[in-house]
Structure 1
Amino acid sequence: MQNFILEEGAVLADDDSFVEQGIVDSTGILELVLFLEQTFGLNIPDQDITPDNLDSVDKVCAYLARQRAAQPLVAGAQPAWIPTQAL
C-alpha cells in the first residue's frame, strides 16, 4: 500500500493522516478505495468511506481486519491474508 500512496523515498508513520500530510485528497481517497476493493476483494460501502476508516495506514489495516472478520467463512475456502502491520 505504501507504494500506492507515497512517492519513492517518502517516509510516512503508520498513524500519519493521509489528508493532513497532503498525500491524498478526495479523489485520492476514491482511488484508495478502488485499490483496496481490487486488492482485497472487498466492496466498501459509501458509509465506510470516512477518515475513521481510511485516513492512515493503521486505520486502513484496522478497517480491513474488521471487514475480513465480519465475512462468513466458506467451507473449503482458503483463509485470507490480513495485514497486521503497515503494508
Structure 2
Amino acid sequence: MQRMGARRYHVLFTDVSLPGMSGVDLAREALVRHPHLKVIFASGYGDMLLRHLDFPYQSLQKPYELDQLQDALHKVADQLRTGA
C-alpha cells in the first residue's frame, strides 16, 4: 500500500492469499485510493473466494500460462482505452 501511495498505477495484479493481508483486502483498500484501478487476481483456490466481491475483477487460476496473463492484461488495456 505504501508504494501505491507514491505512484499512480493502472492495474493491481495480486495473489488472493498474501501474508499479513489478503489480496482481496489489498484490492479493496487500493480501490478506495484509486477507484479506476483494474484488478487481476491469481488464485490456486478458484473463484470460490471471489464470488461475492462488489467490484469488477479478473481472475487467473494457478498455475496459469503466460498467454492467459497476456489475455487478461489485453482486456485491462482495452478497458482503460474505452474508459470501462
Q: TM-score, normalised by structure 1?
A: 0.28
Larger Rg: 1
Larger strand proportion, structure 1 or 2? 2
Q: Using CA pairs under 8 Å that are at least 6 residues apart, name the structure with larger relative contact order, 1 or 2.
A: 1
